[in-house]
Amino acid sequence: MNVHSSKYKCTDCGKCFSCNTKLTAHRRSHSGEKPHACDQCEKFFKTEDVLRWHMNVHSSKYKCTDCGKCFSCNTKLTRHRRSHFGEKPFECTVCGKRFVQSATLVRHSRIHSGEKPCKCLECGKAFSQSAHLRTHMRVHTGEKPCKCSLCDANFSTSGKLQSHNHHVHSNRRPYDCRVCGKMFKSSSNLKKHVYTHTDAKPYSCRHCSDCFAQLGQLKRHLLKSHNEDTWLTCHICEKKFSQSGDLKKHLLRHQDVKPYACDVCPKCFYTAGELKHHQLKHSLFKQFLCVRCGRDFKHKKTVVRHFKRCSGTIPF
């Protein structure tokens, strides 16, 4: 049978198949469905063939003597054992970084070449790795397999769940600013804050002379001014966003989901920023100081408005 003239055609991407079974298995790549479960380790797979291939791991004679992990063939065992001995035979010719596997080197080389072979069929956004594409597809499918055990919030990746637990359910702030002493939960937030004490703008546009203090500002500039990359559109109200995180936060408002809960009162919020702003009401700490009169404030917007009046820029 000619595959290209087959009646078994995927309506999502147009790919054709010789039988309905293959089409059904293929469509799971769009939906993320994994109905076949392994009874040994509880992993889930899209097709029976992949599950059968996976079962070889549990019955394999190729077992690592260092950690006990099993593999379906000797090649994979040999590759795995390099992780125990620190052996990295594959070297990047551009930066000299070494890797255990040749496939990892191929993915790494795309950092230097800018190659993005994995393209989203929904919005056209391209990625350097298929794993990043699979994660991105959850923006379109709405899949959120990672659930928070503390507030029942759902997330598309384990990384976002971990970040949520750290920023929402933990009060630990190990990173402090050497200039003003303000404490932060992550080094990335501290790094962004440090720029407020300087005029540094490390992110420059490759099309014009504009520079920005934050990477997100540069991305928005590239979209608005140079039409580079693709806007992410809300399927409900068609509002456009430059970053998937902003779209995700926006969609919560349509679903009326408020995953960020205050640990002092019963109020809940759509975003971590809104929760952080609210928690200042329960605190006596006032971190913003007017340099003209010495009066202190809880919120940055309040001190900015006050300073303009205090300096005579706007009338009281």
pLDDT of residue 28: 66
- In this prediction, residue 53 carries a pLDDT of 75
7 pLDDT exceeds 80? no
Q: Tens of pLDDT along 188-242?
A: 888 878 877 777 788 888 889 888 887 778 888 888 888 877 778 888 888 888 7
Phi, psi of 45 (to 5 degrees): -135, 155
What DSSP element (H or E) covers 216? helix 215-226
When pLDDT is cut at 50, 70 and 90, the band that residue 42 belongs to is: low
On the question of pLDDT at 1 being above 50, the answer is: no
Q: Which of 31, 11, 12, 8 has its CA nearest to residue 20? A: 8
Total-model pTM: 0.38
| Domain-wise residue ranges, the chain | 172-287, 288-316
For 143-173, how does the pLDDT look when each residue is reduced to its tens digit (9 = 90+)? Answer: 888 887 777 677 878 887 877 777 667 667 7
Q: Give the orientation angle of helix 158-168 with respect to helix 272-279, to 10 degrees.
A: 10
Residue type, 289: L
Q: What is the pLDDT of residue 290?
A: 80
Cα 316 from chain centroid (whole Å):
44
The answer to whether residue 86 scores a pLDDT higher than 50 is yes
Query: 3-state SS string over 88-141?
Result: CCEECCCCCCEECCHHHHHHHHHHHHCCCCEECCCCCCEECCHHHHHHHHHHHH
Assigned token pair, 26: 């293929």
Q: Which long-range contacts (CB under 8 A, 24 or more apart) does 6-9 make?
A: none
What would be the CATH architecture of the domain defined by 172-287? 2-Layer Sandwich (3.30)
For position 316, what pLDDT does the model report? 41
Quick: pLDDT tens for 111-135. 888 888 888 888 888 888 888 888 8
What distance in Å separates the CA atoms of residue 134 and residue 157, rounded to the nearest whole number? 10
